[in-house]
């Protein structure tokens, strides 16, 4: 009887947990202030936010660091090809991938979530956050289009 009761509760919670997934709404009030909520505004004039896209854009990075290196640890110095260390759920990694595809810039991606070898390399050079990009004699932690373009022009 106890197992049947546990099974019943499990089915109940699994069924109703599907209803717990809510939509995110974004709207601007009459004072120009932007609001986000799981309920639409009373006036009904709101934009729905794609939660998957929102999650991909979330990151703790607020600063992009670029260093000029005297020795490049993991890429060929003669080659300006980009080596980018990433994780599977990194929004800035996705932004960098998209930028490189759009501008036809070749790069080698090293996902530290899926490869022990790449994770070891990442730890060896002291990586703390992703993405980390190496090219020419530069190392960039984080991704900013403006900063990348400024530094990439020095190599190419």
Domain assignment present for 10: no
5 has a pLDDT exceeding 80: no
Domain assignment present for 121: yes
CB count in 10 Å sphere of residue 129: 15
| Same domain, residue pair 75 and 140 | yes
| Same domain, residue pair 96 and 126 | yes
Contact at 8 Å (CB) between 82 and 109? no
140 has a pLDDT exceeding 60: yes
| Same domain, residue pair 29 and 75 | no
The better pLDDT of the pair 87, 20 is held by 87
| Same domain, residue pair 105 and 72 | yes
Under 8 Å CB-to-CB from 67, ≥6 apart: which residues? 138, 139, 140
Q: How many domains does the chain have?
A: 2
| Same domain, residue pair 44 and 73 | no
| Same domain, residue pair 45 and 69 | no
| Same domain, residue pair 151 and 80 | yes
30-34, 36-40, 48-52, 106-110: least confident range: 48-52
Q: Range of 38's domain?
A: 19-49
Domain assignment present for 137: yes
Predicted confidence (pLDDT) per residue in 45-89, tens digit = 777 766 544 544 444 445 566 666 554 444 444 456 899 999 999
Domain assignment present for 11: no
Domain assignment present for 56: no
Under 8 Å CB-to-CB from 6, ≥6 apart: which residues? none
Over residues 31-39, mean pLDDT: 75
The better pLDDT of the pair 110, 2 is held by 110
| Same domain, residue pair 135 and 76 | yes
Contact at 8 Å (CB) between 101 and 148? no
pLDDT value at position 136?
Answer: 81
Domain assignment present for 58: no
pLDDT value at position 43?
Answer: 74
């Amino acid at each position: 009887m106890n197992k049947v009761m546990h099974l019943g509760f499990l089915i109940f919670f699994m069924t109703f947990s599907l209803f717990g997934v809510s939509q995110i709404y974004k709207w601007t009030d009459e004072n120009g202030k932007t609001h986000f909520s799981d309920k639409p505004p009373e006036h009904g004039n709101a934009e729905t936010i794609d939660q998957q896209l929102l999650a991909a854009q979330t990151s703790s990075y607020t600063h992009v660091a670029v260093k000029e290196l005297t020795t490049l640890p993991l890429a060929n110095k003669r080659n300006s090809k980009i080596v980018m260390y990433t994780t599977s759920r990194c929004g800035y990694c996705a932004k960098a991938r998209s930028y490189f595809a759009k501008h036809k810039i070749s790069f080698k991606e090293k996902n530290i979530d899926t490869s022990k070898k790449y994770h070891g390399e990442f730890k060896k050079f002291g990586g703390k956050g992703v993405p980390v990009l190496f090219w020419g004699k530069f190392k960039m932690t984080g991704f900013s289009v403006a900063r990348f373009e400024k530094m990439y022009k020095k190599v190419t």
